[in-house]
Amino acid sequence: MCISCKISENVREKLGIAASVLGVLLCLCGLFLIFTGVYIKSEIDDRVMLLEGYSTGMLPHFLVSIGALAACLNGIGSKIAYDCGHSETRGRFQQILLFFIILMFLFSWVIFSGGIVSITHADDIETAFKHGLTSAMERYRYELPAKQTIDKLQMSMHCCGSSSYKDWFTVDWINRDALNTNHPDFESNCRKATPGP
């Protein structure tokens, strides 16, 4: 059973314009997803040493792919909606309109699965970052790239350690080769810095 309703040309035109504007907004969201994927990829590449056991490729590429697909489909959908709203151009896309609606429905499930992937990756990134930062802190005193990466991260994020500044108390982070142990004040300063029993 099919329910029919009469819509005037004026209402059809307004619906077509509204759907077209919505398509343009969704197209812009797709472009935003592309930029987000590129930004995440560049940030992960800068700090790849701090992400222990995390595969850096999947999430950014997935976001860029979904964003590009969303931008294309919604751009085409915006044109279809605008043309279907006007009686002169309505016939252009009449043959593919049902196919396009089914395609957009399937694409909405892809976006939904993309949201789930992003949520699960947030936990994976957090775990990998915690382990990676702790591992890099242990290499801080003798590995220059680890030192530079941690110093840059802590200065830019105004943070200290993996969980808190107390993480540094569990790590030997001073390079003994850089200390002048022959200096007369070395022994007295070590006694001052080391708490007594």
Is 81 part of any domain? yes
- Cα–Cα–Cα angle for 62, 67, 71, nearest 5°? 155
164 pLDDT more than 60: yes
106 pLDDT more than 60: yes
Is 166 part of any domain? yes
For 52, the domain range is 9-193
> Region 160-173: what's the mean pLDDT?
74
Residue 17 and residue 84: Cα distance in Å, rounded?
9
Q: Which of 27-36, 72-81, 85-94 has the lowest mean pLDDT?
A: 85-94
Residue 4 and residue 99: Cα distance in Å, rounded?
21
Q: Which amino acid is at 5?
A: C
Higher-confidence residue of 170 and 54: namely: 170
Tokens of 111: 């976006």
pLDDT number for residue 61? 83
DSSP 143: -
Is 110 part of any domain? yes
On average, the pLDDT of the chain sits at: 77
196 pLDDT more than 50: no
pLDDT number for residue 103? 85
Q: Which amino acid is at 16?
A: G
Is 30 part of any domain? yes
Coil, helix or strand for 139?
coil
Is 181 part of any domain? yes
Q: Is the separation of the CB atoms in 181 and 157 below 8 Å? A: no
Give the chain's domain count.
Answer: 1
125 pLDDT more than 70: yes
Q: How far is CA 13 from the centre of its chain?
A: 38
Nearest alpha carbon to residue 51 among 119, 149, 148: 149
What is the rounded radius of gyration, in angstroms, for the C-alpha atoms of the chain? Answer: 28
Higher-confidence residue of 63 and 176: namely: 63
- Cα–Cα–Cα angle for 150, 155, 158, nearest 5°? 110
Is 177 part of any domain? yes
pLDDT number for residue 197? 47
Give 146's pLDDT tier (boundaries 50, 70, 90).
Answer: confident
Locate all alpha helices (DSSP H) within the chain, ordered by sequence.
9-46, 58-84, 97-138, 144-157, 184-193
Question: Quick one: angle between helices 58-84 and 9-46, nearest 10?
Answer: 170
Give 56's pLDDT tier (boundaries 50, 70, 90).
Answer: low
Q: pTM of the prediction?
A: 0.63
Query: Which one of 67-81, 103-117, 119-133 scores highest in mean pLDDT?
Result: 67-81
Question: Torsions phi, psi of 69, nearest 5?
Answer: -65, -40
Give 157's pLDDT tier (boundaries 50, 70, 90).
Answer: confident
Is 130 part of any domain? yes
Is 1 part of any domain? no
pLDDT number for residue 120? 78
pLDDT number for residue 129? 78
Tokens of 9: 């040309």
